Amino acid sequence: MAVTIKDVAKLAGVSPSTVSRVCNGNPAISKETRERVQKAMAELGYELPTSDVQTVQAIKTIGIVLPPSGREAYENTFYLKAIRGISQVCNQRQVASTVVTGCDYDEILSSIRTLHRSGSIDGFILLYSRKNDIVIDYLCEHGLLYVIVGKAGELSAQTICIDNDNLLAGREAADYLYNLGHRRIGFLSSRNDFMYASDRRAGYQLSLLLHDLPVQADYCVAMDRVASEDTSALTNLLRREDRPTAFVVSDDMLALALERVCTQARLTIPEDISIIAFNNSLYAQLASPQLTAVDINSYQLGQEAANQIINHAENPNLLTTKIIVPHRIVERGSCREFKSL
């Protein structure tokens, strides 16, 4: 198997983009880092393809990569808030930005290839994180600078990440419901492989275990998408005599879907079902009743991501950054104390 830039980065203990900068003769790379990378390249017998050698210049444009979606990525205010945070920093630091998305990951990758080959993009901010991502594989193989808003699936030691502590947030959301007296607590998420959702679910399950509550697989429901017409799994769960009395919901857009299904099942919120959701977007405030929500500070996530990609572009010797943005619970009317019958 051919040696890749990721192999060199791993052996040298640096990011793939730093390896690319060494190959491009970037004068900002320290002598120590340059020698370490060159030693790793020699040891592995790696040579950077000539098509990847670029002219060193100040960062001018960054790409903002959204997950694939026909509509929902544009309707989810998490992405809008994060993009607003990125744009504010870019404007202040005189860097342009462009949005990249598509109907699937292949289409996104095709767009990124075109931007890379044109030489018009200096780095990318990914507003999602997932394992086995062909987009990240491409960025690593070509030594392109990127920042993930989320947790790195691979190469975590060499990846710049801006994230929340979603495991802790999921636990605290379930703890909140437990402290209101709820003992049958469900979990609702979308059916995707995003790492934030799995971490929030793991935190929810940890809370149950710490409170000596059973972790019931059938209390965890995943929907294909927010506007899905197939709500049978959720409807069947709500019709059970031992139905959950409260839910942790991984996204407040999904909480609206839960409210709709509750109405169809003639259940009221919060009298019959309490809901705590994530993101604290405009949807949480427009819901009726308004949603108690975990505010993940989407705007700050975007700001931090933009600052880090520009800082690392201007100074490749910076250590790989991991920033945790704090979260908080905003109490509203969708939760109440559980009163047994």
What stretch of H or E contains 23?
helix 16-23
The answer on 41 and 88 residing in a single domain is yes
3-state secondary structure of 120: coil
- Give every CB contact of residue 49 below 8 A, 6+ residues apart in sequence: none
108, 100 Cβ separation under 8 angstroms: yes
Q: How far apart are CA 202 and CA 205, in angstroms?
A: 5
248, 200 Cβ separation under 8 angstroms: yes
For residue 322, give both structure tokens.
């991991």
Strands 274-278 and 220-223: unpaired
Question: 53 pLDDT band (50/70/90 cuts)?
Answer: very low
Mean predicted confidence (pLDDT) in 88-116: 93
Q: Is residue 336 included in any domain, yes or no? A: no
The answer on 203 and 153 residing in a single domain is no
Q: How far apart are CA 334 and CA 206, in angstroms?
A: 23
187, 201 Cβ separation under 8 angstroms: yes
Classify residue 240 by its DSSP letter: S
3-state secondary structure of 25: coil
Host domain of residue 259: 166-296
Mean predicted confidence (pLDDT) in 73-101: 91
Q: Is residue 338 included in any domain, yes or no? A: no
Please write the tens of the pLDDT for every residue from 197-235.
999 999 999 999 999 999 999 999 998 665 556 788 899
Q: Is residue 339 included in any domain, yes or no? A: no
Handedness of CA 114, 116, 112, 100 (dihedral sign): negative
The predicted model scores a pTM of 0.82
Mean predicted confidence (pLDDT) in 14-34: 73
**Domain tally, the chain:** 2
Q: How far apart are CA 240 and CA 63, in angstroms?
A: 47
CATH of the domain at 27: 3.40.50.2300
The answer on 52 and 63 residing in a single domain is yes
The answer on 235 and 303 residing in a single domain is no
